[in-house]
Chains A and B, each alone.
Chain A
Amino acid sequence: MSTDGLGRREFLAATTAAGLSLTIGARAQENPAGGDLNVAFIGVGSQGRILMTSACNIPGLRFKAVCDIWTYSQKYAKGRLRAKGHDVNVYEDYRDMLANEPDLDAVIIATPDFMHAEHTIACLEAGLHVYCEKEMSNSLEKARHMVEAKQRTGKLLQIGHQRRSNPRYIHAIDRLLLKDHLAGRVTHANAQWNRAKSEDEGWSPRTEIPVETLAKYGYESMHQFRNWRWYKKYSGGPVVDLGSHQIDIFSWVFQNNPKSVIASGGRDFYTSHEWYDNVMAIFEYDSPEGTARAFYQVLTTTSCGGFYEQFMGVDATLVISEVPSRGNHFLKEKHVEQSEKQALWDRLAQEGHIIPPAPEVTEDKQTDDIYVDTRVSKELGAWTLPIELLKPAHQPHLENFFNAIRYGTELTCPAEIGYETAVAVLRVNEAVEANTRLEYNPEEFTV
């Protein structure tokens, strides 16, 4: 397939629609121009292990080193990588790793947010390409320094908003929402991440990090080290931790950054934590088609509804989630059937870009017995997205990063985009604290 005249996203969308995008990485890596890459991990806690599991599926990567301050995680990672055929050196301090591993090409960073800048900047300046987990930082100043370091060194910096590389999201947003305008003008968005109440992360006394080591790396206690996401010193709390994935998508769909946010939240359940355990926020956007508003909530005491994003247009609503069972379809408005837009839906269905609902099986009943409440609109028909991601959710994003190193393909979430999202998301906590509507200055989003 020729990609002439197609933008990156169009190309991706087109190929995913044909079920081809899932093999892009594999095919590209067969290209002899792309050699093997030497890779290290900094931070192999719960998120680092998820990235490690996905990265191990990608051919052509040689894992050389692992860095973590917890010996339990060091052993865990070394053992897992050994089982996958990689013999890695283990370090506690990233500086030792950078000094002793001269052959590295890239590093994957999954440390607590407050350390991202230090780790990322050091690696970039050591000449390495960096994949850094979101949030870029819990401090905008640090995040800005990361972008500056990336621009200064000319190395790649991919931020871990992995939905940006998910072929389902690319197809639904770039192709169907933005190119084909399948949903018409998108006026509202609604997203949530609700998770059940949970216990704190634990450890065994035998695996406890010595107090002096914790202090050396900036932690006050083992509990804070294991539960850093709940503490202001280390993280931005749930709305940053979880919300940034989805608020990032708002900007993608509305093709603009928010212009204001109003939010409410509080530390109402977990008395031993610092960050807000529930937050509700409303953003306002100037989209190319007019004003749009987006509601977002993160709750940590109920899993009701789980996590998903909805983009509501006048003709249809896109319901999508990283877990397809929670959202993988467009809900078409009834009026579309009587308009010329129905032809677009039919064409896209015919071309395999969307799957129409199965015909209803109606039983031959006597109409006398059927009561229709005309005050309630008929349920919208669900048109399913045709793409299935057969890989772990983070793998395409990592593939995108490594393909960018090898072949110069474009990153789907470079540092600049990650920074824009950080600006949007970190302001939510400020809005909760200020208990008022806060405006964004468009210049804030650029470095």
Chain B
Amino acid sequence: MRSLAFAVCFVVCAVYAEDELHSTGSRTRAVHRIELRDDLGDPIKQGYARVEPFSTKTTCGRCHDYDVVSGGWHFNASTTELDSGRPGEPWVLVDDKTGTVLPLSYRDWDGAWNPDDIGVTPWKFTQLFGRHMPGGDTGERTDVIDPDARWHVSGTLEVNCLACHNVSPEQDQSEYAKQVARENFRWAATASDGHAFVDNMALRLPDSYSRFDAPNSDNDWAAPPTVSYDAGFMNVKNKAFFDVRKRSSANRCYFCHSQSFDEAAEAPPSDVHLASGMTCTDCHTNELNHAIDRAYEGPASCEGCHLGSEDKLPGAYGAPVPKHKGLPEVHFEALTCTACHSGVKPRAKTDLVKTSRANRLGIHGKARWVMDSPQIETPIYLPGFDGKLAPHHVLWPSFWAVKTNDGVKPLLPEAVLPYISQDVNTLDEQAIETTLKTLASELSEDVLYVRDGQCWTLSNGSLSKQADSELAKPCAWPIAHDVRPAAQSLGSTGCDDCHSKDAPFFYGTAGPENAARYTWQQLDPGEIGALEKSVRMRPAMRILYGLAAILLAIVIIRYGFIAVEHLVLGALGRNGRKVK
């Protein structure tokens, strides 16, 4: 508790110190013409024999507290003990040769495996996913003992401030991903900012390489990475200009947070907020501590801007206050805003969505980087953290695993590959049994296989299938974007959007077994049917209610007159004379 209090004080002090240092009250953006420094803190100067990539830690960190920044949401998954919050998109370990689709997250989210628990070290994690990481986090976990780690060759993957804050159109995260694939971690930020060319690959260097070694003159294939800064990038005082700003543009966020659908999917062309001139960081705000507001609750949430909160009036950024005319109150109790306003419109069968991080979107080059796996279905409406139905992206894990004393441990692809003898996508049960027997024999362990919501094990030497295994349950995370305007929301053309026979919202299918969406919503089809009937009866009921109202009015008027007459006569006396 004391350490937590200390940490909070430290962060607060650091934030205030930052403000004191830089804020003059002017709205003019500070010009960042700064001296570059390498990761050892040495200045980088033109004409030096040893040309190093710049380090954000020592270059940006001279004015902006790097330790405070690197505690932020994007950089703290593997190190923080803070509340994991609402589930987000996991990282997905995909290997087509072994049929592995394994959702991973250091955060405590249902359906995702903790990398530490299955032998994915911070080094391995960075190798796998550094392409779409903004640096920091596992990219700097050199303290973890790992015989395979090569931090001493690759350098660390520092928080890449420019990935988010560089306004220059030359900022190239695709190049960043390429450098990560080459294990040029220390060079990745420099290579991607648009002012330098980085050649060669740390990946090819031997384990015994040291940064001060001269290039190996016996083997130019295994040449260490080199940096060439553009002529003119640094001025005569060796200062370089970075066009950076505090509020990141949406384009910077897109590299890691894009999603793509089939053409047939009814996806909005843009998020309504961005179309109205806002940007991601208007809602997903943060201070120097980079504690990004995830905006699913609180002042920056849908309700916070559109309905207001205790300490905030509605209408922030011109947000219209919704009328939801005629919409029964039950909808607000049972559904999130996003259920009607976000993602693709539900169709008879779920759509497949590719995301930047899962399917490697946005990396351009000669090689094909985008992968069809993992197959992520959307939208499936599941109860969220607040019990309301919310649209989710969902994937079904697939992996080989061994049983341990503590439960089950998925096997990493490299451990399985030697024992896979055929295309895993076409494995029938006989082939699954054969492979499981081979694995059990080679590994001397109890083994199992999970795919398509099923779990296969060997029981007394023969195959046994379990359909309701917890291990095979899908991994799901709620979505918020893109947000559709009111005119394109579910229900905008009437109640029939959802409350009609075969309406995709309830009766569309999802998952490997093509189960109806209402089963995922944990709803009783009988109740849904009753709701539909009530909706169908609604016009007649309206007439009935109208007639009843008229009848009631007639009755009221009739007896009202009588009552008035009685009152008047009572006041005047029965004979019409005024009573004294």
Residue positions of A touching B, CB distance < 8 A:
46, 49-50, 52-53, 56, 72-73, 76, 79-80, 82-85, 195-207, 226, 300, 303, 306-307
Contact = CB atoms under 8 A, between A and B. Distances in A.
B320 interface: no
A49 B210 contact: yes
A205 B42 CA distance: 8
Contact of B220 (A53, A84, A196, A226): A196
A202 B214 contact: yes
Secondary structure of the B contact surface, majority rule: loop
Interface in B184-223: 206-210, 212-215, 217-218, 220
Given A79-B152, A83-B146, A198-B215, A206 B220 contact: no
B212 A199 contact: no
Given A83-B146, A300-B217, 9 more contacts: A52-B208, A56-B147, A196-B220, A197-B217, A198-B214, A204-B50, A207-B212, A303-B218, A303-B220
Q: How large is the interface on B (under 10, 10 to 19, 20 to 34, 35 or more residues)?
A: 20 to 34
3 closest A-B pairs by beta carbon, nearest first, are A49-B208, A198-B217, A195-B217
A153 to B, nearest CB: 30
B218 A85 contact: no
Interface in B10-66: 40-42, 49-50
Given A49-B208, A207-B212, A306 B218 contact: yes
B500 to A, nearest CB: 62
A79 B212 CA distance: 16
B219 to A, nearest CB: 8
A195 B218 contact: yes
18 contacts: A46-B208, A46-B213, A49-B208, A53-B206, A56-B147, A72-B210, A72-B212, A76-B210, A85-B147, A195-B218, A198-B214, A199-B49, A199-B215, A202-B49, A203-B212, A205-B42, A303-B218, A303-B220
Kindly name the residue among B142, B145, B208, B213 whose own CB sees the greatest number of chain A CB atoms within 10 A: B208
B370 interface: no
Nearest to A226: B212
Nearest to A75: B152
A257 B149 CA distance: 45
Interface in B205-249: 206-210, 212-215, 217-218, 220
Contacts of A53: 206-208
Contacts of B206: 50, 53
Contact of A206 (B42, B210, B215): B42
A306 B145 CA distance: 37
Contact of B214 (A52, A82, A201, A307): A201
A24 B49 CA distance: 47
B125 to A, nearest CB: 16
B213 to A, nearest CB: 6
A198 B217 CA distance: 6
Contacts of B218: 195-196, 303, 306-307
B153 to A, nearest CB: 10
Contacts of B41: 206
Nearest to A300: B217
B227 to A, nearest CB: 14
B62 to A, nearest CB: 16
Nearest to A73: B210
A201 B142 CA distance: 26
A170 to B, nearest CB: 23
B470 to A, nearest CB: 35
Contacts of B40: 204, 206-207
Contacts of B209: 49
Contacts of A199: 49, 214-215
Nearest to B145: A83
A50 B41 CA distance: 28
In this complex, which of A73, A79, A200 has the most chain B Cβ atoms within 10 angstroms of its Cβ?
A79
A53 B210 CA distance: 12
A303 B41 CA distance: 35
Contacts of A307: 218
